[in-house]
Structure 1
Amino acid sequence: MNFRKPTPIQQAAIPVILEQHDLIACAQTGTGKTAAYVLPLLDKISHAGHNHTSTLILVPTRELAKQIDDQIAGFAYFVSATSIAIYGGNKGESWDQQKNAITSGADIIIATPGRLIAHMNMGYVKFDQLDYLVLDEADKMLDMGFMPDLLRIVSELPVKRQTLMFSATMPPKIRELARKILKNPKEINLAISKPAEGIDQRMYLTYDKQKPKLLEHLLKDLTVQSMIIFTSRKSAVNEIVRILQKMGHKAEGITSDRTQDEREATLQGFRNKQFQILVATDIMSRGIDIDNISHILNYDVPQDAEDYIHRIGRTARASTTGTAITFINEKDQIRVKRIERLIERELPKLENPEEIGPGPAFEPSKHRDTDRAKPRNKSRKKPGQKSTAPDAKLTEPVVPKERRPKSNKPKPSRPKPVAENQQDRPKELYKPKPRFNKKRSNKSTGETPASEATPAVQSEE
């Protein structure tokens, strides 16, 4: 498979895994993390002669599950080890195939958490003899909200096992999960949150309406072998594909809305160079290994800074080179500052070509201030709409303020609000009484309503 020497993460992780230690490993995307745990585990499986499922690998996406399964098939060509990828979105017969693999005890199961729990709910999943648990792209699984599912799955596993956690970033929530499921783990940190050195990163300041023209201009000048265009909106994928096809480029799109068969066919077509440009959401940003991707283009800036690293990590894999281009509109400038803080590097911001027109100036602090001002304006409108009510009550707070010196004379602190309430309430309730007194004025004197007001207040209290 063209492996000549181990990558740094492989060289550091393989001995730790062979020594039976739990491990939390963090390294750049595209540095060979999959082989770092698959190779030593296959070595163990080949010598143990298990007749049960010994290894469970949990991953965030279907594409990554299938890719790892394919890699295991290559690594285990001369090893008597079986594996299966378990994920949703397939046809009905795939469920039965997955069930048979689980019940017959496939050596290695690669699964997405949601699909695995669906099988576990049926009652036939038995992991009581599991030896090894691997969490690949652990940070992405937590970002996708899989924490409860992961804890549920772990609760069904033997306490005595070896647990390996691999991630490209190390946020605090990863530390929290590691404390819950790992025991005295060894830790490997290699260039956390840093893109590969072979990536040429460029950013263009452009308005949304200028993006199609800028894309067309760049594609004329770039020598593109294959390109992935990332967008944060599923609805934008088909729109960008249509723009590219009108320009004469072969392009296809892939989103989570497509069926699994459609997603696999599109991905395979891209691998086979049947079309040059793939437009995708962030489901393609994690762990997907495709050779010779020369360019990554972020049609918009990702919401999370870590996702930027994963997106551009699809190029310049295995010590090659690549180009990453990002379009920045005025609203995305704050996100760019977060990315630069994460990677500890300021990225070059380029202006639009003359024929496209000037884009926005890079002023993240200005846009941040306007964003913060928006909720304030909205909050001001609400009281403004009911301006008469606050104005009518403006005189009421003055009354208790004038009476406070009298009520403050008692030393105990608790009786104070009681005394004030008893004084304020008659004054508030006493105001409407004269209206009724006007109707009763022919029958009673002015003193009678005042005498009747006191018991009315007492009864309401």
Structure 2
Amino acid sequence: MQFNEFNLHDDVLSGIDAMSYLQATPIQEQAIPIILSGKDLIASAQTGTGKTAAYLIPILDFIARNPSDYTTALILVPTRELAKQIDEQIEGFSYFVSATSIAIYGGGKGEDWNQQRKALVNGADIIIATPGRLMAQIKTGEINFENLKCLVLDEADKMLDMGFAEDILFVIKHLPIQRQNLMFSATMPKKIRDFANKILKTPEEIRLSVSKPAVGIDQQFYLASDEQKLPLLLHLMKNTEAESVIIFSSQKSMIDKVVRSLNRNNIESKGISSDISQEEREESLRGFKNKQFKVLVATDVLSRGIDINNLNLVINIDVPRDAEDYIHRIGRTARAETTGTAITFINEKDQYRVANIEKLLEREVEKLNITESLGFGKAPEYNPSLGRKKNRNSKPNKKGSFNKKRFDKPKKIQTTT
């Protein structure tokens, strides 16, 4: 479907054309008419499907037809990286509409705080904000959203996972009751539906199935205990030709450990997590994109909303908690019809999560067992049902079968762009 079939304002169509958008994606084709009609919407669509444009385009259409001195739309997002990315997209799409926007994020009070407060008080057309930072600004008593027309919750599942539910509800209490509500989430578990029921009013629903990983991704699973992970990681890194690597960990405490270990072995790396300052995160991400160093170690803060080209290798130092998060992580590589490799380490207690991933993939992935041949000791036995039982009981269970297949030599990591 072409964008000119949506009956959009000419200035919005000019911006779409300037951004070189030719044809609507499935989420855009389904969401844009609903949003233009003014109805509430809950949509399940993963990163990379074009969901940001799916709500920005109709919002900009409303602004083009209804110019105002007040804030029209508020977009809540889980991370500053996503806030900045959306702000940049607005700048492109709204060039001919002349809509204003600002991203609200950050830590302490300073120059950024004052600039953000000024924009909130004066009323930029579109505000993109992380919930905690916006809540802090609202508490100053100077912020007024009484003319707001639209609230967007982007990556709602990630915001709830990060503990922003109460912050979001605090913000919503300061919004007008009569408004349009749009919720986008990569996954649609019960907690998201329950949360949506608190906010949305008789919403329309769109559910797009989670896409399978790109065919160009070579997925490899390695069995390794927690003590074996760093030695195995160093072995693989020393034997890869990959020029750009992202290593993901679900635990912030692991980031520094991995970075220190890599740097001690002359593999230049830097880490990104929610614990470091905005300036440090931006500097590290910029340096990585510019090939100033080879390896970026990060939490899931980088698994969504970040566009990195020519990434050869993704390594999961642990199994993501949700199968959909696995898709997001490994989706950082093999973009634009290139190829790449995704490696995941599997310890004893996380094995049941592998079964969930394989269910989503609709196939099994070979479990590689090489630690013993490398002199790192015997790898954990593979028994996903046992892993689930251990996780629930929080007690070790020595019983169970294991995958007896052995590999005398480690599988070669092939990475080509």
TM-score by length of 1: 0.75
- Equivalent position SS for 1:115: helix
Pick closer, same or farther for the CA change 1:303–1:376 going to 2, 3 Å. Answer: closer
Q: CA deviation at 1:201?
A: 2.2
For 2:201, the equivalent position in structure 1 comes to: 183
Q: CA deviation at 1:114?
A: 1.0
Which of 8, 24, 31 aligns to 2:49? It is 31
Q: For the residues of structure 2 that align with 1:32 and 1:371, how far apart are their CA atoms?
A: 36
- Equivalent position SS for 1:43: helix
Q: For the residues of structure 2 that align with 1:117 and 1:372, how far apart are their CA atoms?
A: 36
For 2:191, the equivalent position in structure 1 comes to: 173
Q: CA deviation at 1:180?
A: 2.3
For 2:328, the equivalent position in structure 1 comes to: 310
1:365 correspondence with 2:385: yes
Which stretch has the larger CA shift, 245-254 or 91-100? 245-254
Q: CA deviation at 1:343?
A: 4.7
Instruction: Please identify which structure carries the higher helix content.
Output: 1
Q: Deviations over 1:293-339 (max 9, x none)?
A: 23211011123444323322333456655432101122221222233
For 2:121, the equivalent position in structure 1 comes to: 103
Match runs of 1:146-165 below 5 Å: 146-165=164-183
Aligned length: 377
Q: For the residues of structure 2 that align with 1:240 and 1:36, how far apart are their CA atoms?
A: 38
Match runs of 1:260-279 below 5 Å: 260-279=278-297
Pick closer, same or farther for the CA change 1:127–1:319 going to 2, 3 Å. Answer: farther
Pick closer, same or farther for the CA change 1:162–1:199 going to 2, 3 Å. Answer: farther
Q: For the residues of structure 2 that align with 1:118 and 1:265, how far apart are their CA atoms?
A: 25
- Equivalent position SS for 2:70: coil
Q: CA deviation at 1:368?
A: 4.5
Match runs of 1:39-54 below 5 Å: 39-54=57-72
Q: For the residues of structure 1 that align with 2:394 and 2:203, how far apart are their CA atoms?
A: 47
Q: For the residues of structure 2 that align with 1:366 and 1:322, how far apart are their CA atoms?
A: 32
Pick closer, same or farther for the CA change 1:48–1:356 going to 2, 3 Å. Answer: farther
Q: CA deviation at 1:9?
A: 1.8
Which stretch has the larger CA shift, 103-112 or 182-191? 182-191
Q: For the residues of structure 2 that align with 1:98 and 1:28, how far apart are their CA atoms?
A: 29
Matched-pair identity in %: 60
For 1:135, the equivalent position in structure 2 comes to: 153
Tell me if structure 1 keeps the 8 A contact 2:350–2:388. Answer: no
TM-score by length of 2: 0.82
Which stretch has the larger CA shift, 237-246 or 301-310? 301-310
Pick closer, same or farther for the CA change 1:362–1:188 going to 2, 3 Å. Answer: same
Q: For the residues of structure 1 that align with 2:359 and 2:57, how far apart are their CA atoms?
A: 35
Unpaired runs of at least 5, structure 2: 1-18, 398-417
Pick closer, same or farther for the CA change 1:323–1:8 going to 2, 3 Å. Answer: farther
Tell me if structure 2 keeps the 8 A contact 1:213–1:356. Answer: no
One-letter code aligned to 2:163: G
1:245 correspondence with 2:266: no
- Equivalent position SS for 2:32: helix
Tell me if structure 1 keeps the 8 A contact 2:77–2:155. Answer: yes
- Equivalent position SS for 2:206: strand
- Equivalent position SS for 2:296: strand
For 1:89, the equivalent position in structure 2 comes to: 107
Larger Rg: 1
Q: For the residues of structure 1 that align with 2:245 and 2:108, how far apart are their CA atoms?
A: 27
